[in-house]
Structure formats: structure tokens, C-alpha cells
């Protein structure tokens, strides 16, 4: 919980000064604790007839992927269809994630990719493909798709290009 209180920035229009609660709810801290604030952005768009919401994006360091706020449990990719919705939660994402609407032959599919991009991580991205018309996740016999599975599901060579770029 955060308390908005006037402070040094109170004279600045549009600024907010955030103070943490004392441990017992009253009194003062003996030493002031550090407040960690992370700015996140939410993105909204459409893929076919579905509204796509990418919530909790912390940073967008490149054209191909974004990072999420690992400390928040509000990170989501929400796909709102006409008859049903799909929610991809934070535990289904990783350090580097991406989202693209692939529309080949007028069949919209949402391609989501993820990888931890660390030295102990596999070199290739993992993919989640959502068929927007049926609002179903396409799986290649497993929980997630590799690049071959994502290519077969979307008809796009994007999964191969992503894997080559980040090896």
C-alpha cells in the first residue's frame, strides 16, 4: 500500500511523492526504508476481431522484445475475443517477450515469443500461437511451440528470424 503525501515535489504540478507506511501503521521509521518504484506501460491493439492487451511492460529495449516487471503479479497478455478470452499470465512469460499479429491468407494469429536471454538459457525462443478465430492456443504436441511449430501454425518465417538474430 502507498500513501500519497506532500513532500519536496508537492510544488511540482503533476508529480507524486510516495512515502511507505511505518511498520506499525503509526509513528516514524527509525531509518527511512528505500522505496522501489517501477514504471510500466500497458499496450492495446487489435489482431483480427480480438482486442489484445499487453499489461506490465517495464522496458522495450529493442524492436523485437520487451521486458516485464518481475515483482508485479499484474503482468498479462489478454486477448479479448467475441465469444471468449485468453489470458497469458506472467508465469507463462520470461525475461524477453514479444507479441505480433500474423495475418497470412486473412487468418489472424497472435504470435507470442519468450526467452530468458541469459547465459544459462536455451538459444531459441519459445512460442505461443493463438488462433484468433477459434480463440484457441495452438500447441505442437507440447505446452509451447518451437520455431518449426510456430511456423507451421502461422505460415510466418518470423520465428526463424528471431532465433537467428539472438543466437
Cell 497469458 appears where? 88
Q: Give just the sign of the alpha carbon dihedral 133, 135, 136, 137.
A: positive
pTM over 0.85: no
Task: Give the span between the Cα atoms of 167 and 164, in whole angstroms.
Answer: 6
Per residue of the chain (167 residues), give pLDDT as tens: 233 333 444 444 555 555 555 555 555 656 666 666 778 889 999 999 999 999 999 887 667 788 887 777 789 999 999 999 999 998 888 888 999 999 998 899 999 999 887 778 887 889 999 999 999 998 766 667 899 999 999 999 999 999 888 76
Domain boundaries, the chain: 1-37, 41-165
Task: Give the span between the Cα atoms of 70 and 94, in whole angstroms.
Answer: 9
160 phi and psi angles, rounded to 5 deg:
-70, -40
Amino acid at each position: 500500500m502507498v500513501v500519497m503525501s506532500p513532500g519536496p515535489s508537492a510544488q511540482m504540478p503533476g508529480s507524486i511523492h510516495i512515502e511507505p507506511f511505518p511498520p506499525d501503521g503509526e509513528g516514524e521509521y527509525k531509518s527511512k526504508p528505500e522505496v522501489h518504484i517501477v514504471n510500466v506501460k500497458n499496450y492495446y491493439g487489435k489482431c483480427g476481431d480480438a482486442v489484445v492487451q499487453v499489461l506490465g511492460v517495464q522496458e522495450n529495449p529493442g524492436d523485437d522484445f520487451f521486458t516485464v516487471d518481475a515483482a508485479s503479479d499484474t503482468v498479462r497478455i489478454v486477448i479479448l475475443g467475441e465469444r471468449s478470452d485468453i489470458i497469458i499470465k506472467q508465469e507463462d512469460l520470461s525475461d524477453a517477450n514479444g507479441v505480433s499479429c500474423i495475418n497470412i491468407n486473412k487468418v489472424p494469429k497472435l504470435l507470442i515469443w519468450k526467452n530468458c536471454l541469459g547465459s544459462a538459457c536455451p538459444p531459441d525462443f519459445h512460442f505461443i500461437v493463438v488462433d484468433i478465430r477459434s480463440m484457441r492456443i495452438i500447441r505442437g504436441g507440447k505446452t509451447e511451440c518451437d520455431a518449426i511449430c510456430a511456423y507451421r501454425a502461422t505460415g510466418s518465417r518470423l520465428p526463424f528470424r528471431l532465433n537467428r538474430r539472438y543466437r
